[in-house]
Amino acid sequence: MLGNFIAFTPKSNELQLPGRKHQALIAMVLLSENKSIPRDRVLDMLWGSRSEDQARASLRGVLSEIKRVCRPFGPCPIEADRSHIFVPDSTTVEVDIDALLRNENDMSIDSLAVVSTLSGGDLLASLKINESAFEQWKTIEQEQMKRAYRRILQLYMSELRETENPIEIELTANRMLDLDDADEDAHRALMQLYYQQNSRSRALHQFELCKEKIRKQYNSAVSEATANLAISIQAGLGEGDKYQSKPIYKYANTTTAGVNEISLAVMLFRQPEGSGIDRNFAGEIAEGISFRARYFKWFRVISTKESFRVQLKELGPSGVTETIGAKYILDGEIYLSKNSYHLKIELIDGISSNIVWSDVVKLNNQIFDNPEIIYEQILGRLDVNLRAHEIQHALSLKRKPATGYEFTLLALSNMTELESTRLDETKSYFQKAVELSPKASWIHSYWSLWKMFCLGQDWLVDKEQGFREANELARTAFNIDQENAIALVIAGHFQSLWEQNLELGQILVDRARKANPYSAFTWMLSSATYSYMGEPSVALQQLERAQTLSSTETHFQFMRPTALCLAHLFNRDLEQAEVYGKQLLFYAPGFTNGHKLLLVALGHLGKVSESNRYLHDLLEMEPDFNIRSFLDKYPFGKSEDRDFFREGFELAGAPSGRNGSKTRLSAVE
């Protein structure tokens, strides 16, 4: 599936499939978890623009034709039942990408060498389907494969540097450049290789090529590490910046709270001389960012008394990391472009000197008068991108996690997938994290949120125990640090959703937003309480603020469309509720609450055939679901909202439930 889709028989003859949707269906099954995918998801992705009857007929036809084509060579590798399309357990299908997705930590250099040759191109590169859902899914899968392939190449390059194999080093570096022609690691590897081969001119030509690629792609200069290597080669001083197979950064002591394992240094921003801008403006902005970044309590911000030292600028990112212990460096520069001043921000990994994230803010008179606008545009994105990079780093560790912080990052990665198969693993990660870092407020908070997910998904055998644990974790986080925005907003969410104590929930989420007004996650989760209270206009304002702070949420993608679907439902914006309901189920198709919210919208919109499909999936996941039990458990500040949800469910055909006592979990003090 890398490059063009090609299927082969067991005897290596090419299998001629009738059309593109036959290829797409097989690809979707093979790329899905456990090589099984719901029929309704296939219908949405391949025939979403057709009527339900047409889509189902088309799917039956495609399945029949796949069986016909495969029949001469043995049993069909793709089968279907009423709910899923899957590869039977008795069937083996060899897929090129499986080699990319195995555990890299267990791969020998010989295995890495084989996998590194899988450079046939983008996943399903030539397969085009005129359905937006399929193309969006394919784009996401392509990016995942690129990241996996790049990790393999990086690991292989690390091993090659130890063996000093020049031919393989050059091949591997060029494969890395095929993925990203601005990859400085690859450019430096080639510069070093050519220099060692006594070809200084070729090494310096590679440096010039690297500069050009970085300028075009990032409108930036090369990293300090690349520039220093070029200087060493130019001067003939020796090998210069050799590839580092081990990180030069050592984590800070974490015995106190377990939250200071990474630290951020905000450098003194630069501004042009004689520009007419207040000479202290850039420095004041950097100072303001450094001060406000402390609201995010999961990382440490180094004092500007240290990070503003002028001589640090001469050391480059790796030098800053070695000197003051900052794993990440935030640097900035004001420059003039097209008669307007702009502030360019770069978040740099001090270990690799790679740019993790960058942004540009156009400066106008309004911003000069009110720098708060800059802080709003930078701090929320800083938090999201820093967390995403740290989680990716934790996933790529070639060793077992050693600290509560690292265990928490792995747990957060699992949480975003919302899969019951990760239940025990995620629990063990959180248990170990709390054991190693018992005074880290945010770790307890995220564990409480995970418990809430498990309760909502009906994954826990003992629901009362799960309720008590979620409550206790939220309380513990709050008691450890009552000014931690994450602890406050998650505790408030628990009170609103599970205790149905909307008054206390509102107090806590309001405090959370004041504790950190720059956290997009806090504003997003806070909005749910206001929806439950029957104040959707306030909820939508808070979601708009979350969007301003960060337009993306890398590791909790399904939560924002959930909050938007909820707010639009309470605001009676049914079409918008449907849009966000389907969006959240794209990110988390197994999220039962997403199905419930979407059913209410579809019921009121009179879309019976669609609601039947989602109701079927919901009852597959939660067989005991009924309207009465939902209404008893769900928090409604206003009776008219409760009636609106009840009517939506009834119109969608949901089971009503028998009369009897309420099923709501009892509150636990």
| 321-374: pLDDT as tens digits | 888 888 999 999 998 887 888 999 999 998 888 888 999 988 888 888 888 889
407, 432 Cβ separation under 8 angstroms: yes
For residue 259, pLDDT over 60 is answered with no
Which pLDDT band, with edges at 50, 70 and 90, does 256 fall under?
A: very low
Helix axes 200-218, 184-196, angle to 10 degrees: 170
- Tell me which of 3.40.50.10070, 1.10.10.10, 2.40.30.10, 2.40.50.140 is the CATH number of domain 263-385: 3.40.50.10070
Which pLDDT band, with edges at 50, 70 and 90, does 251 fall under?
A: very low
Domain ranges of the chain: 7-134, 263-385, 557-669
Alpha carbons 554 and 560: distance in angstroms, whole number: 11
- State what percent of residues in the chain have pLDDT above 90: 42
- Closest by CA position to 386, among listed 298, 445, 286: 298
461, 438 Cβ separation under 8 angstroms: no
- Closest by CA position to 137, among listed 121, 119, 123, 120: 123
Average pLDDT, the chain: 85
pLDDT given at position 116: 65
The mean pLDDT value for 162-176 works out to 80
For residue 240, pLDDT over 50 is answered with no
- Closest by CA position to 391, among listed 484, 296, 262: 262
Task: Give the burial string for 506-535 (b: 16+ CB within 10 Å, else e).
Answer: bebbbbbbebbbbbbbbbbbbbbbbbbbbb
pLDDT given at position 667: 30
Task: Supply 495's token pair.
Answer: 């009170």
DSSP 8-state symbol, 124: T
- Closest by CA position to 98, among listed 135, 21, 152: 152
DSSP 8-state symbol, 632: H
Alpha carbons 486 and 509: distance in angstroms, whole number: 9
For residue 659, pLDDT over 60 is answered with no
Do the domains at 263-385 and 557-669 have one common CATH topology?
no
Alpha carbons 369 and 164: distance in angstroms, whole number: 57
- Closest by CA position to 513, among listed 616, 416, 380: 380
The mean pLDDT value for 380-398 works out to 87
Helix axes 485-497, 441-456, angle to 10 degrees: 30
CATH of domain 557-669: 1.25.40.10
Query: For the ranges 35-49, 64-78, 174-188, 249-263, which has the lowest average pLDDT?
Result: 249-263
What confidence tens digit (pLDDT) does each residue in 96-138 have?
777 666 655 556 666 666 666 665 567 887 788 888 888 888 8
For residue 281, pLDDT over 80 is answered with yes
pLDDT given at position 658: 60
The mean pLDDT value for 615-628 works out to 93
pLDDT given at position 248: 27
What confidence tens digit (pLDDT) does each residue in 424-476 have?
899 999 999 999 989 999 999 999 999 999 999 989 889 999 999 999 999 99
Task: Give the burial string for 72-104 (b: 16+ CB within 10 Å, else e).
Answer: eeeebbbbbeeebbbbeeeeeeebebebbeeeb
Query: For the ranges 109-123, 149-163, 447-461, 478-492, which has the lowest average pLDDT?
Result: 109-123
Stated as kind and residue range, the H or E segment containing 332 is: strand 328-337
